[in-house]
Amino acid sequence: MGRAIVVTSGKGGVGKTTVSANLGTALAQLGHSVVLIDADIGLRNLDVVMGLENRIVFHVVDAIRGKCAVQKALIKDRRMENLWLLPASQTDDKDAVTPEEMRSLVNELKQMHDFVIIDCPAGIEMGFKNAIAGADEAIVVATPEVSSIRDADRVVGLLAAADVPARLIVNRINAALVKKGDMLSQADVIEILALELLGAVPMDDQIVATTNKGVPAVLEVTTKSLAAKELQRIAKKLAGHEVEAPATSIGFFTRIGRALGLAASPA
């Protein structure tokens, strides 16, 4: 029986789709069998971020409506042995499916795969409720900004109410700005949200470049790929492997802060 993990944030544009695509691919690199579900019905994106947009025949609403078998709606990623995408429908509304339907779909996929990664839409309405319905655990993605953290806090409250345990990824950190005191550090974000940190992903131009090409950054890791390496480290941690401390090269005081932040136990 696999694990279903929803990637959520409240606010849009903070990196949910990027994190879903890269964690899913990195888990497949580790040898796990992974299905990515795009739960952003009406505004699908995970297909283009994965570079699989030209191969879509059926989508998640077709699978739920029984228009095709669930297996038929999955797109096999040819770059990997064990990675599939279940795309969102672009023509339906977010309320085309119910939480119960999503839960049974996710449960069916969990029978055959190690990980089901659900890319959640922005907002806290129907699309959010559908996306978290079948999830065993959640990853909350936040950028170190007031509006993102505020929205993440709402989502943390809703996840707690739904009994879905959550961990945090801080995305788009700019170490130089943190050092100057012009950006919140990951320790600040951990302290404010009182969540366990899974990882801190730096702002990295390579994410933009690989996304342009429809290639998850973890498939093109070089020595300079700071974000992709951190995403691979997070995937290992998710899968329960031993991992090193985060690799980001930031200052001494920030590291102390982080150590303190890490020591704080989640509420």
Partner 1 sequence: MWSNIKNMFTAKSSASAAKGRLHLVLAHDRSGLEGGRLQAMREEIAAVIAKYVAIDAEAVEIQIETRSRAAQLTLSTPIQPRNA
Could you tell me the smallest distance in angstroms from the CB atom of residue 226 to ligand ADP?
Answer: 9
Q: With respect to ligand ADP, which residue has the nearer C-beta, 51 or 70?
A: 51
Q: Is 17 in the site for Mg ion (CB under 5 A)?
A: yes
Stretch that binds Mg ion, among 11-19, 59-67, 97-105, 206-214 (CB under 5 A): 11-19
Stretch that binds partner 1, among 72-80, 133-141, 147-155, 199-207 (CB under 8 A): 147-155
Q: With respect to partner 1, which residue has the nearer C-beta, 71 or 147?
A: 147
- Write out the two tokens for 198: 């899974």
Q: How far is CA 111 from the centre of its chain?
A: 21
Q: With respect to Mg ion, which residue has the nearer C-beta, 119 or 188?
A: 119
Q: Which of 72, 154, 224, 241 binds partner 1 (CB under 8 A)?
A: 154
Query: Which amino acid is residue 112, in one-letter code?
Result: M
For the stretch 52-59, contacts whose Cβ atoms lie closer than 8 Å and that sit 24 or more positions apart, written own/partner, are 52/77, 52/85, 52/87, 52/214, 53/214, 56/87, 59/86, 59/87, 59/88, 59/89, 59/90
Which of ligand ADP, partner 1, Mg ion, none binds 263 (CB below 5-8 Å, type-dependent)? none
CB 121 within 8 A of CB 41: yes
Q: Is 203 in the site for ligand ADP (CB under 6 A)?
A: yes
Q: Is 66 in the site for partner 1 (CB under 8 A)?
A: no
Q: With respect to partner 1, which residue has the nearer C-beta, 79 or 179?
A: 179
Q: Which of 88, 227, 234, 250 binds ligand ADP (CB under 6 A)?
A: 227
> CA 114 to CA 1: how far, in whole Å?
7
Residue 259, Cβ density class (10 Å: 0-12 exposed, 13-18 middle, ≥19 buried): exposed
Bin 240: left if φ > 0, else alpha if -120 < ψ < 50, else beta: left
Residue nearest to Mg ion (CB): 17
CB-hemisphere CA count at 13 Å for 112? 11
Cβ atoms within 10 Å of 147's Cβ, excluding its own: 12
CB-hemisphere CA count at 13 Å for 172? 14
Q: Which of 67, 72, 150, 213 binds partner 1 (CB under 8 A)?
A: 150
Q: Binding-site residue total for ligand ADP (CB under 6 A)? A: 17
Interface positions with partner 1 (CB under 8 A)? 145-146, 149-150, 153-154, 156-157, 178, 180-185, 188, 192, 194, 264, 267
**Interface ranges with ligand ADP (CB under 6 A):** 9, 12-18, 171-172, 201, 203-204, 207-208, 211, 227
